[in-house]
Amino acid sequence: MRRTLRKWASVALGFSMIALWPLAAQALTMHFDFDYSYTQTGYTSVPAVNHIYNAQLGYGWNIGVEAGERSGEFDNFLLRDFHYNFQDRIFMVDLPDGPYELTLYFRDKSWTHDRIQVSAEGVLKVDIFELPYGTTRSEVFTTDVADGQLNLTFHDGGGTDLSWIINGMDIALMPLPSAALLFGTGLAALGLWRRGRTKA
């Protein structure tokens, strides 16, 4: 009786873990292109207009922003255009809680920006003293989401130019020990089940 119970518990655990693992492995990355016009392949467009957050979409700005584009950079749809504003704006993305690695891309072919600051979940993560025109900068940092939503505040901290900019962003859920654990637990449970079957 005990063996039967253990057998079926193992079966249930094994299959639920195996079923859960691919879900845990899915949707671990998101890519946003803050567009004026053209969108980089593999990226989700945050368009020049109609880019306000709504729960159905699951991402967007809290308030409208400006969008800009520089001609002559048609080779790279991510870096040729950008969003910017003179006041603080928050970009929000609904995400499962967890640790995330973010990569933010900054470039303006024609205009130098300075003191671009980005906070994630209220913590300052990016502080670019100067972004000379024609240069590309990528900033990588980690943040923990614990409330179901990533909140990125873009701020210009002064200097000569008074607007922050953002061209693109990659979001990746950091490698989850739990994903490997789930898989391992699933395999172990299946092993137990097979052993139980052999004995029965």
Footprint of Ca ion on this chain (CB under 5 A)? Answer: 33, 35, 77, 81, 114-115, 147, 149, 151, 156, 159, 161
Q: What is the smallest separation between the CB atom of 177 and Ca ion, expressed in angstroms? A: 23
Q: Which is nearer to Ca ion, 47 or 64 (CB)?
A: 47
Q: Which is nearer to Ca ion, 9 or 27 (CB)?
A: 27
What does the angle CA 122 – CA 126 – CA 144 come to, to the nearest 5 degrees? 45
Q: How far apart are CA 140 and CA 123, in angstroms?
A: 14
Please, are residues 136 and 73 in contact by the beta-carbon 8 Å criterion?
Answer: no
Residue 1 Cα distances to 4, 5, 6, 8, 200, angstroms:
5, 6, 9, 11, 11
Q: What is the smallest separation between the CB atom of 121 and Ca ion, expressed in angstroms? A: 5
The residue of the chain with the least Cβ separation from Ca ion equals: 159
| DSSP β-bridge partners for residue 169 | 32, 104
Q: Which is nearer to Ca ion, 35 or 108 (CB)?
A: 35
Q: Which is nearer to Ca ion, 31 or 194 (CB)?
A: 31
Q: What is the smallest separation between the CB atom of 71 and Ca ion, expressed in angstroms? A: 13
